[in-house]
Amino acid sequence: MNLFWFIPGYETSVYEAGREPIFVALLAFLLCFVLTRAYTRIARVRGWGSAHAGGVHLHHVVVGIVLALASATLIIGFEPVDNFFELFLCAVFGSGAALILDEFALVFRLQDVYWSQEGRSSIDAVIVAVTVGVLVLLHVTPVDQSEGFGWAVVASVAVHALLVVVDLLKGKLWTGLFAVFIPFVALVAALRLAKPHSPWARRFYKEGSHRRRRSQARYRKKEERWGPRREEALDLIGGAPTRPEADVE
């Protein structure tokens, strides 16, 4: 439909490239997340009550699941040819995904940890989703598809996937995410030290070993430098978590 024709480069880079559906879904995701967090932060300050259904607290992750499943079913089942209906369903799916990931920590822990420190994993999930969405929108792929899929390509993809797995096992979530699309990043991250609490370090870095000490020292130095800044950024995005009563006193 060329919805945002007035944005420079949109018509050629998004519309004509066939990426308008992912663009609309990503835009709806961002808008829904921002509006949801804005509402919950205001409700937290003003003491507004939560929605209930039949006496049960209705978390917005439930609404998100319904929206995402319904829109995805319609897209897969009917393959709408009407551009407006297709983009509408993409927007509904993006909104549903935002509501789900905004309470990702609740789903993961099966506890209402929205405003706790553990609830920060919801913000991480949203950032990961947005990053992946942007990379997909940019159509970043690790393999040149014009080359076909010969044995050399299959082998390179297998090695690349193995390196990404190593990155994740070393506790490098963000690096591993970008490594999916950039093979060089996957190689460099795989060669560097693992984080001290990662599965890789627990398996291969023995207690008191040189690698274990180097990993702990590097991680401690990094946390001292970037930890407070990361917390400030997360506070700005999702709101500050509730401090334990012991800290308040």
CB 234 within 8 A of CB 120: yes
Angle at 142 between CA 141 and CA 144, to 5 degrees: 80
Q: Which residues pair with 53 in a beta bridge?
A: 56
pLDDT at 245 over 70: no
101 vs 142 pLDDT, higher one: 101
34-53 pLDDT tens trace: 999 999 999 988 888 777 77
Using a cut of 0.85, tell me whether the model's pTM lies above it: no
123 vs 142 pLDDT, higher one: 123
- pLDDT score, position 248: 38
CA quadruple 189, 191, 196, 197: dihedral, nearest 10: 60
CA distance 92 to 98: 10
pLDDT at 3 over 90: no
**3-state SS class at 56:** strand
Poorest-pLDDT segment among 31-35, 134-138, 159-163: 134-138
pLDDT at 237 over 80: yes
Domain boundaries, the chain: 1-140
CA distance 80 to 90: 11
Confidence at 174, pLDDT banded by 50, 70, 90: confident
CA distance 83 to 93: 15
5-14, 65-74, 77-86, 163-172, range with greatest mean pLDDT: 65-74
Cα atoms found within 13 Å of the Cα of residue 234, Cβ hemisphere only:
21
Tokens read off for 69 = 């499943």
Poorest-pLDDT segment among 51-55, 58-62, 195-199: 51-55
pLDDT at 239 over 70: yes
pLDDT at 190 over 80: yes
- pLDDT score, position 99: 96
24 vs 231 pLDDT, higher one: 24
**DSSP label at 15?**
I
